[in-house]
Structure 1
Amino acid sequence: MSTTASTSSPSGAAPLFVLAGPTAVGKGTVAAYIRQNYPKVWLSVSVTTRAPRPGEVDGVHYHFVGQAEFDRMAEQDELLEYAIVHGRASYGTPRRPVQDAIEAGRLPLLEIDLQGARQVRERMPDAFFVFLTPPSWDELVHRLIGRGTESAQEQAVRLETARAELAAQKEFDATIVNEDVGVAAAELVDLMERHASAARATH
Protein backbone atom coordinates (compact mmCIF):
# COMPACT_ATOMS: atom_id res chain seq x y z
CA MET A 1 0.00 0.00 0.00
CA SER A 2 1.33 3.43 -0.84
CA THR A 3 2.12 5.85 1.95
CA THR A 4 1.71 9.11 0.06
CA ALA A 5 -0.10 11.86 1.97
CA SER A 6 -3.84 12.19 1.54
CA THR A 7 -5.32 14.39 -1.16
CA SER A 8 -8.37 16.63 -0.94
CA SER A 9 -10.63 17.83 -3.74
CA PRO A 10 -9.91 21.42 -4.82
CA SER A 11 -12.46 24.04 -3.84
CA GLY A 12 -15.51 23.92 -6.10
CA ALA A 13 -14.61 20.56 -7.61
CA ALA A 14 -16.99 17.61 -7.59
CA PRO A 15 -16.13 15.12 -4.85
CA LEU A 16 -14.91 11.66 -5.68
CA PHE A 17 -17.45 8.82 -5.44
CA VAL A 18 -16.46 5.26 -4.66
CA LEU A 19 -18.67 2.22 -5.34
CA ALA A 20 -17.66 -0.99 -3.59
CA GLY A 21 -19.26 -4.16 -2.29
CA PRO A 22 -18.81 -7.91 -2.04
CA THR A 23 -17.61 -10.00 -4.95
CA ALA A 24 -20.32 -10.91 -7.52
CA VAL A 25 -22.73 -8.27 -6.20
CA GLY A 26 -22.78 -6.68 -9.65
CA LYS A 27 -20.51 -3.64 -9.24
CA GLY A 28 -19.17 -4.03 -12.76
CA THR A 29 -22.64 -4.49 -14.23
CA VAL A 30 -23.96 -1.36 -12.53
CA ALA A 31 -20.87 0.58 -13.64
CA ALA A 32 -21.33 -0.63 -17.23
CA TYR A 33 -24.98 0.47 -17.17
CA ILE A 34 -23.94 3.90 -15.94
CA ARG A 35 -21.25 4.11 -18.65
CA GLN A 36 -23.86 3.43 -21.33
CA ASN A 37 -26.72 5.53 -19.96
CA TYR A 38 -25.24 8.38 -17.90
CA PRO A 39 -22.50 10.16 -19.90
CA LYS A 40 -22.32 12.87 -17.24
CA VAL A 41 -20.58 10.35 -14.95
CA TRP A 42 -16.85 9.87 -15.44
CA LEU A 43 -15.88 6.27 -14.73
CA SER A 44 -12.32 5.42 -13.81
CA VAL A 45 -10.76 2.53 -15.75
CA SER A 46 -8.72 0.27 -13.47
CA VAL A 47 -5.52 -1.53 -14.35
CA THR A 48 -5.32 -5.27 -13.70
CA THR A 49 -2.96 -8.17 -14.25
CA ARG A 50 -5.73 -10.71 -14.78
CA ALA A 51 -6.67 -11.95 -18.24
CA PRO A 52 -9.65 -10.33 -20.00
CA ARG A 53 -13.01 -12.06 -19.64
CA PRO A 54 -15.13 -12.66 -22.75
CA GLY A 55 -16.40 -9.34 -24.10
CA GLU A 56 -14.03 -7.15 -22.09
CA VAL A 57 -12.17 -4.48 -24.07
CA ASP A 58 -8.74 -3.16 -23.10
CA GLY A 59 -8.97 0.52 -22.18
CA VAL A 60 -12.76 0.40 -21.76
CA HIS A 61 -13.42 -2.13 -19.02
CA TYR A 62 -9.84 -2.38 -17.73
CA HIS A 63 -6.29 -1.59 -18.73
CA PHE A 64 -4.78 -5.08 -18.94
CA VAL A 65 -1.07 -5.02 -18.05
CA GLY A 66 1.68 -7.43 -17.06
CA GLN A 67 2.86 -7.76 -13.49
CA ALA A 68 6.11 -5.90 -14.21
CA GLU A 69 4.27 -2.84 -15.54
CA PHE A 70 1.83 -2.95 -12.64
CA ASP A 71 4.69 -3.06 -10.15
CA ARG A 72 6.35 -0.11 -11.88
CA MET A 73 3.16 1.97 -11.62
CA ALA A 74 2.82 1.14 -7.92
CA GLU A 75 6.47 1.94 -7.17
CA GLN A 76 6.26 5.30 -8.95
CA ASP A 77 3.08 6.26 -7.07
CA GLU A 78 0.97 6.33 -10.22
CA LEU A 79 -1.87 4.41 -8.51
CA LEU A 80 -4.39 5.93 -6.14
CA GLU A 81 -5.00 2.48 -4.69
CA TYR A 82 -3.98 -1.06 -5.50
CA ALA A 83 -4.33 -4.55 -4.10
CA ILE A 84 -4.06 -8.24 -4.84
CA VAL A 85 -7.65 -9.50 -5.01
CA HIS A 86 -8.62 -13.04 -4.00
CA GLY A 87 -4.91 -13.83 -3.67
CA ARG A 88 -4.54 -13.93 -7.44
CA ALA A 89 -4.57 -10.86 -9.70
CA SER A 90 -3.49 -7.28 -8.97
CA TYR A 91 -5.88 -4.37 -9.47
CA GLY A 92 -5.29 -0.62 -9.19
CA THR A 93 -6.67 2.84 -10.00
CA PRO A 94 -4.51 5.22 -12.06
CA ARG A 95 -4.15 8.44 -10.09
CA ARG A 96 -3.79 11.17 -12.74
CA PRO A 97 -7.08 10.59 -14.66
CA VAL A 98 -9.00 10.69 -11.35
CA GLN A 99 -7.40 13.97 -10.30
CA ASP A 100 -8.07 15.47 -13.74
CA ALA A 101 -11.76 14.49 -13.56
CA ILE A 102 -12.14 15.99 -10.09
CA GLU A 103 -10.47 19.25 -11.11
CA ALA A 104 -12.66 19.44 -14.23
CA GLY A 105 -15.81 19.28 -12.09
CA ARG A 106 -16.99 15.96 -13.53
CA LEU A 107 -18.92 13.34 -11.54
CA PRO A 108 -16.02 10.91 -10.99
CA LEU A 109 -16.83 7.34 -9.95
CA LEU A 110 -14.49 4.55 -8.91
CA GLU A 111 -15.87 1.00 -9.03
CA ILE A 112 -13.40 -0.94 -6.90
CA ASP A 113 -13.08 -3.70 -4.30
CA LEU A 114 -13.24 -3.24 -0.55
CA GLN A 115 -9.45 -3.18 -0.07
CA GLY A 116 -9.16 -0.39 -2.61
CA ALA A 117 -12.00 1.59 -1.05
CA ARG A 118 -10.23 1.54 2.30
CA GLN A 119 -7.03 2.84 0.72
CA VAL A 120 -8.92 5.64 -1.02
CA ARG A 121 -10.55 6.62 2.29
CA GLU A 122 -7.08 7.01 3.81
CA ARG A 123 -5.81 9.15 0.93
CA MET A 124 -9.00 11.06 0.04
CA PRO A 125 -11.13 11.20 3.20
CA ASP A 126 -13.57 13.69 1.64
CA ALA A 127 -14.67 11.13 -0.96
CA PHE A 128 -18.21 9.68 -0.73
CA PHE A 129 -18.40 5.90 -0.32
CA VAL A 130 -21.36 3.80 -1.51
CA PHE A 131 -21.78 0.12 -0.63
CA LEU A 132 -23.59 -2.08 -3.15
CA THR A 133 -25.29 -5.02 -1.47
CA PRO A 134 -27.25 -8.02 -2.84
CA PRO A 135 -30.94 -8.53 -2.03
CA SER A 136 -29.92 -11.66 -0.08
CA TRP A 137 -27.01 -14.02 0.49
CA ASP A 138 -28.70 -16.71 -1.62
CA GLU A 139 -28.95 -14.29 -4.53
CA LEU A 140 -25.26 -13.44 -4.23
CA VAL A 141 -24.36 -17.15 -4.37
CA HIS A 142 -26.63 -17.61 -7.38
CA ARG A 143 -25.01 -14.71 -9.25
CA LEU A 144 -21.47 -15.87 -8.58
CA ILE A 145 -22.07 -19.46 -9.61
CA GLY A 146 -24.39 -18.54 -12.47
CA ARG A 147 -21.94 -16.30 -14.31
CA GLY A 148 -19.62 -19.28 -14.86
CA THR A 149 -16.40 -17.26 -15.09
CA GLU A 150 -14.58 -18.97 -12.21
CA SER A 151 -13.68 -22.54 -11.33
CA ALA A 152 -15.32 -24.25 -8.36
CA GLN A 153 -12.21 -23.53 -6.30
CA GLU A 154 -12.26 -19.84 -7.26
CA GLN A 155 -15.97 -19.65 -6.45
CA ALA A 156 -15.30 -21.04 -2.96
CA VAL A 157 -12.58 -18.44 -2.39
CA ARG A 158 -14.83 -15.62 -3.58
CA LEU A 159 -17.76 -16.73 -1.40
CA GLU A 160 -15.53 -16.82 1.66
CA THR A 161 -14.28 -13.34 0.79
CA ALA A 162 -17.84 -12.10 0.22
CA ARG A 163 -18.95 -13.08 3.73
CA ALA A 164 -16.22 -10.91 5.23
CA GLU A 165 -16.87 -8.08 2.77
CA LEU A 166 -20.58 -7.90 3.62
CA ALA A 167 -19.66 -7.08 7.21
CA ALA A 168 -17.92 -3.90 6.02
CA GLN A 169 -21.18 -2.18 5.06
CA LYS A 170 -21.09 -0.03 8.21
CA GLU A 171 -17.88 1.64 6.96
CA PHE A 172 -19.72 3.31 4.06
CA ASP A 173 -21.65 6.57 3.73
CA ALA A 174 -24.62 5.03 1.90
CA THR A 175 -25.95 1.63 0.82
CA ILE A 176 -27.76 0.65 -2.38
CA VAL A 177 -29.42 -2.74 -2.85
CA ASN A 178 -28.71 -4.18 -6.30
CA GLU A 179 -31.97 -5.97 -7.03
CA ASP A 180 -32.40 -4.37 -10.46
CA VAL A 181 -29.36 -3.00 -12.29
CA GLY A 182 -31.17 -0.05 -13.87
CA VAL A 183 -32.79 0.97 -10.60
CA ALA A 184 -29.53 0.64 -8.66
CA ALA A 185 -27.68 2.72 -11.28
CA ALA A 186 -30.34 5.44 -11.20
CA GLU A 187 -30.23 5.55 -7.39
CA LEU A 188 -26.44 5.87 -7.45
CA VAL A 189 -26.36 8.66 -10.05
CA ASP A 190 -29.11 10.55 -8.22
CA LEU A 191 -27.16 10.23 -4.97
CA MET A 192 -23.99 11.47 -6.69
CA GLU A 193 -25.73 14.49 -8.21
CA ARG A 194 -27.37 15.49 -4.93
CA HIS A 195 -24.18 15.09 -2.92
CA ALA A 196 -22.06 16.92 -5.50
CA SER A 197 -24.52 19.83 -5.58
CA ALA A 198 -24.49 20.05 -1.78
CA ALA A 199 -20.69 19.92 -1.70
CA ARG A 200 -20.36 22.70 -4.28
CA ALA A 201 -22.87 24.82 -2.38
CA THR A 202 -20.69 24.75 0.72
CA HIS A 203 -17.70 26.27 -1.11
Structure 2
Amino acid sequence: MKTLLVLMGGSGSGKTTVARKLEECGYKRLITTTTRPKRNGEKDGVDYHFVTPEEFRRLPKIEEVHYSGFWYGLPVREIEEKAIQYDRLVVVLEKEGAQAVKRIYGNQVDIVFLAISPVEMKRRLRERGDPPDSIQERFRQAHERNEFDPPEFVDLVVENTNVEETVRQILEHQKRSPAISRASF
Protein backbone atom coordinates (compact mmCIF):
# COMPACT_ATOMS: atom_id res chain seq x y z
CA MET A 1 0.00 0.00 0.00
CA LYS A 2 1.35 3.44 -0.98
CA THR A 3 0.22 6.68 0.61
CA LEU A 4 0.96 10.31 -0.16
CA LEU A 5 0.22 12.63 2.73
CA VAL A 6 0.02 16.33 1.82
CA LEU A 7 0.44 18.89 4.60
CA MET A 8 -0.88 22.36 3.95
CA GLY A 9 -1.62 25.46 6.00
CA GLY A 10 -0.63 29.08 6.37
CA SER A 11 2.85 30.43 6.96
CA GLY A 12 4.13 29.41 10.37
CA SER A 13 1.53 26.65 10.83
CA GLY A 14 4.27 24.09 11.44
CA LYS A 15 4.04 22.15 8.18
CA THR A 16 7.77 21.48 7.92
CA THR A 17 8.10 20.58 11.60
CA VAL A 18 5.20 18.12 11.36
CA ALA A 19 6.64 16.63 8.15
CA ARG A 20 9.97 16.02 9.90
CA LYS A 21 8.19 14.34 12.82
CA LEU A 22 6.32 12.13 10.37
CA GLU A 23 9.69 11.13 8.89
CA GLU A 24 10.54 9.73 12.32
CA CYS A 25 7.35 7.63 12.00
CA GLY A 26 8.40 6.05 8.69
CA TYR A 27 7.29 8.60 6.09
CA LYS A 28 9.73 9.76 3.43
CA ARG A 29 9.55 13.50 2.83
CA LEU A 30 9.36 14.81 -0.71
CA ILE A 31 11.59 17.85 -1.13
CA THR A 32 10.08 20.70 -3.10
CA THR A 33 12.07 23.18 -5.18
CA THR A 34 12.20 26.95 -4.70
CA THR A 35 13.82 30.04 -6.14
CA ARG A 36 13.94 31.80 -2.77
CA PRO A 37 17.27 32.18 -0.97
CA LYS A 38 18.14 29.83 1.87
CA ARG A 39 17.28 30.96 5.39
CA ASN A 40 19.89 30.60 8.11
CA GLY A 41 20.46 26.92 8.84
CA GLU A 42 18.65 25.60 5.75
CA LYS A 43 20.38 23.03 3.56
CA ASP A 44 19.96 22.38 -0.14
CA GLY A 45 18.34 19.00 -0.75
CA VAL A 46 17.16 18.78 2.85
CA ASP A 47 14.87 21.77 3.33
CA TYR A 48 14.31 22.56 -0.35
CA HIS A 49 16.11 22.15 -3.63
CA PHE A 50 17.30 25.75 -4.09
CA VAL A 51 17.57 26.76 -7.76
CA THR A 52 17.75 29.84 -9.92
CA PRO A 53 14.60 31.09 -11.68
CA GLU A 54 16.04 29.83 -14.99
CA GLU A 55 16.62 26.33 -13.57
CA PHE A 56 13.11 26.36 -12.09
CA ARG A 57 11.50 27.19 -15.46
CA ARG A 58 13.24 24.24 -17.15
CA LEU A 59 12.33 21.73 -14.43
CA PRO A 60 9.36 19.39 -15.13
CA LYS A 61 6.98 19.90 -12.19
CA ILE A 62 3.73 18.38 -10.97
CA GLU A 63 2.73 21.78 -9.63
CA GLU A 64 4.13 25.25 -9.09
CA VAL A 65 3.09 28.37 -7.25
CA HIS A 66 4.40 31.93 -7.03
CA TYR A 67 4.38 33.06 -3.39
CA SER A 68 6.00 36.06 -1.69
CA GLY A 69 8.02 36.85 -4.80
CA PHE A 70 9.47 33.35 -5.28
CA TRP A 71 8.56 30.18 -7.13
CA TYR A 72 7.89 26.86 -5.39
CA GLY A 73 7.18 23.52 -7.04
CA LEU A 74 7.21 19.75 -6.77
CA PRO A 75 9.48 18.21 -9.41
CA VAL A 76 8.11 15.18 -11.26
CA ARG A 77 11.32 13.24 -10.61
CA GLU A 78 11.04 13.81 -6.84
CA ILE A 79 7.74 11.99 -6.53
CA GLU A 80 8.46 9.35 -9.19
CA GLU A 81 11.80 8.30 -7.68
CA LYS A 82 10.62 8.22 -4.07
CA ALA A 83 7.31 6.51 -4.85
CA ILE A 84 9.29 3.57 -6.22
CA GLN A 85 11.42 3.31 -3.08
CA TYR A 86 8.99 4.15 -0.27
CA ASP A 87 5.42 3.22 0.73
CA ARG A 88 4.58 6.31 2.77
CA LEU A 89 5.39 9.77 1.46
CA VAL A 90 4.78 13.21 2.95
CA VAL A 91 5.04 16.58 1.24
CA VAL A 92 4.39 20.19 2.23
CA LEU A 93 2.40 22.08 -0.41
CA GLU A 94 0.28 25.18 -0.82
CA LYS A 95 -3.42 24.98 -1.74
CA GLU A 96 -2.81 24.92 -5.50
CA GLY A 97 -0.16 22.24 -5.17
CA ALA A 98 -2.37 20.05 -2.96
CA GLN A 99 -5.16 20.30 -5.52
CA ALA A 100 -2.81 19.42 -8.39
CA VAL A 101 -1.44 16.36 -6.60
CA LYS A 102 -4.96 15.21 -5.68
CA ARG A 103 -6.05 15.66 -9.32
CA ILE A 104 -3.17 13.49 -10.54
CA TYR A 105 -3.07 10.80 -7.83
CA GLY A 106 -6.68 10.83 -6.58
CA ASN A 107 -7.39 8.43 -3.71
CA GLN A 108 -3.70 7.88 -3.11
CA VAL A 109 -3.55 11.35 -1.54
CA ASP A 110 -4.63 12.37 1.96
CA ILE A 111 -4.61 16.14 2.56
CA VAL A 112 -4.16 17.55 6.06
CA PHE A 113 -4.72 21.23 6.84
CA LEU A 114 -2.72 22.56 9.81
CA ALA A 115 -4.78 25.39 11.28
CA ILE A 116 -3.21 28.43 12.92
CA SER A 117 -4.64 31.70 14.21
CA PRO A 118 -3.44 35.04 12.80
CA VAL A 119 -1.90 35.97 16.18
CA GLU A 120 -0.05 32.64 16.42
CA MET A 121 1.14 32.98 12.83
CA LYS A 122 2.80 36.33 13.52
CA ARG A 123 4.38 35.01 16.73
CA ARG A 124 5.86 31.94 15.01
CA LEU A 125 7.20 33.93 12.06
CA ARG A 126 8.92 36.33 14.49
CA GLU A 127 10.36 33.37 16.43
CA ARG A 128 11.85 31.80 13.32
CA GLY A 129 13.56 35.10 12.53
CA ASP A 130 11.54 36.42 9.61
CA PRO A 131 12.07 40.19 9.15
CA PRO A 132 9.10 42.44 10.10
CA ASP A 133 8.42 43.49 6.49
CA SER A 134 8.37 39.84 5.40
CA ILE A 135 5.96 38.98 8.23
CA GLN A 136 3.62 41.80 7.18
CA GLU A 137 3.72 40.65 3.56
CA ARG A 138 3.07 37.01 4.47
CA PHE A 139 0.24 38.09 6.77
CA ARG A 140 -1.30 40.18 3.98
CA GLN A 141 -1.00 37.30 1.53
CA ALA A 142 -2.40 34.82 4.05
CA HIS A 143 -5.55 36.94 4.38
CA GLU A 144 -5.73 37.48 0.64
CA ARG A 145 -5.38 33.74 -0.03
CA ASN A 146 -7.68 32.79 2.87
CA GLU A 147 -4.98 30.62 4.50
CA PHE A 148 -6.61 30.66 7.92
CA ASP A 149 -9.62 28.63 6.82
CA PRO A 150 -9.31 25.07 5.50
CA PRO A 151 -10.45 24.49 1.92
CA GLU A 152 -13.37 22.13 1.47
CA PHE A 153 -11.23 19.49 -0.27
CA VAL A 154 -9.03 18.64 2.75
CA ASP A 155 -9.41 15.26 4.46
CA LEU A 156 -8.39 16.34 7.99
CA VAL A 157 -8.06 19.63 9.86
CA VAL A 158 -5.75 19.77 12.88
CA GLU A 159 -5.07 22.80 15.06
CA ASN A 160 -1.31 22.52 15.40
CA THR A 161 -0.68 23.71 18.95
CA ASN A 162 1.42 20.66 19.94
CA VAL A 163 3.50 18.82 17.33
CA GLU A 164 3.32 15.41 19.01
CA GLU A 165 -0.47 15.63 19.34
CA THR A 166 -0.78 16.80 15.74
CA VAL A 167 1.28 13.84 14.51
CA ARG A 168 -0.78 11.46 16.67
CA GLN A 169 -4.02 12.79 15.14
CA ILE A 170 -2.63 12.46 11.60
CA LEU A 171 -1.44 8.89 12.17
CA GLU A 172 -4.78 7.94 13.71
CA HIS A 173 -6.59 9.44 10.73
CA GLN A 174 -4.33 7.55 8.30
CA LYS A 175 -5.26 4.25 10.00
CA ARG A 176 -8.98 4.97 9.52
CA SER A 177 -8.86 6.44 6.00
CA PRO A 178 -10.65 4.10 3.56
CA ALA A 179 -9.29 5.94 0.51
CA ILE A 180 -5.71 5.45 1.66
CA SER A 181 -6.17 1.81 2.64
CA ARG A 182 -7.03 0.84 -0.95
CA ALA A 183 -4.57 3.17 -2.68
CA SER A 184 -1.57 2.06 -4.70
CA PHE A 185 0.89 4.01 -6.83
Q: TM-score scaled by structure 1?
A: 0.78
The corresponding residue for 1:96 is: 77
The corresponding residue for 2:170 is: 188
The corresponding residue for 2:38 is: 52
Task: Name the CA distance, whole Å, in 1 between partners of 2:97 and 2:14.
Answer: 17
Q: 8 Å contact 1:83–1:115 — kept in the other structure?
A: yes
1:137 offset after TM fit, Å? 3.0
Secondary structure of 1:25 counterpart: coil
Task: Name the CA distance, whole Å, in 2 between partners of 1:14 and 1:69.
Answer: 30
1:72-100 per-residue CA deviation (whole Å, 9 max, x = no partner) reads: 00xxxx211111112x1111112233234
1:18-37 per-residue CA deviation (whole Å, 9 max, x = no partner) reads: 110111111112112223x2
Q: Check 1:24–1:198 CA distance in 2 against 1; reply closer, same or farther (3 A cut).
A: closer
Instruction: Tell me the amino acid that sits aligned with residue 160 of structure 1.
Output: R
Task: Name the CA distance, whole Å, in 2 between partners of 1:63 and 1:201.
Answer: 28
Task: Name the CA distance, whole Å, in 2 between partners of 1:145 and 1:171.
Answer: 30
Task: Name the CA distance, whole Å, in 2 between partners of 1:20 and 1:157.
Answer: 19
Q: 8 Å contact 2:28–2:89 — kept in the other structure?
A: yes
Alignment partner for residue 128 of structure 2, among 139, 142, 147?
147
1:6-59 per-residue CA deviation (whole Å, 9 max, x = no partner) reads: xxxxxxx41322110111111112112223x22x20110111111111111111
1:199 offset after TM fit, Å? 2.1
1:198 offset after TM fit, Å? 5.5
User: What runs of 5+ residues in structure 2 fail to find an aligned partner?
Assistant: none
The corresponding residue for 1:26 is: 14
1:101-137 per-residue CA deviation (whole Å, 9 max, x = no partner) reads: 4345611111112222122233333221110112x33
The corresponding residue for 1:9 is: none
Secondary structure of 1:166 counterpart: coil
Task: Name the CA distance, whole Å, in 1 between partners of 2:180 and 2:61.
Answer: 28
Task: Name the CA distance, whole Å, in 1 between partners of 2:179 and 2:27.
Answer: 14
Identity of matched residues, % = 28
Task: Name the CA distance, whole Å, in 2 between partners of 1:120 and 1:101.
Answer: 15
Whether 1:172 and 2:158 are equivalent positions in the alignment is: no
Q: Check 1:124–1:201 CA distance in 2 against 1; reply closer, same or farther (3 A cut).
A: closer
Task: Name the CA distance, whole Å, in 1 between partners of 2:2 and 2:88.
Answer: 6
Query: Higher mean Cα deviation, 176-185 or 166-175?
Result: 166-175
Q: Check 1:71–1:177 CA distance in 2 against 1; reply closer, same or farther (3 A cut).
A: same
Q: 8 Å contact 1:23–1:161 — kept in the other structure?
A: no
Secondary structure of 1:171 counterpart: coil
Task: Name the CA distance, whole Å, in 2 between partners of 1:49 and 1:201.
Answer: 33
User: What runs of 5+ residues in structure 1 fail to find an aligned partner?
Assistant: 1-12
Secondary structure of 1:51 counterpart: coil
Q: TM-score scaled by structure 2?
A: 0.85
Q: Figure out how many residues of one structure are paired with residues of the other and give that number.
A: 181
Whether 1:72 and 2:61 are equivalent positions in the alignment is: no
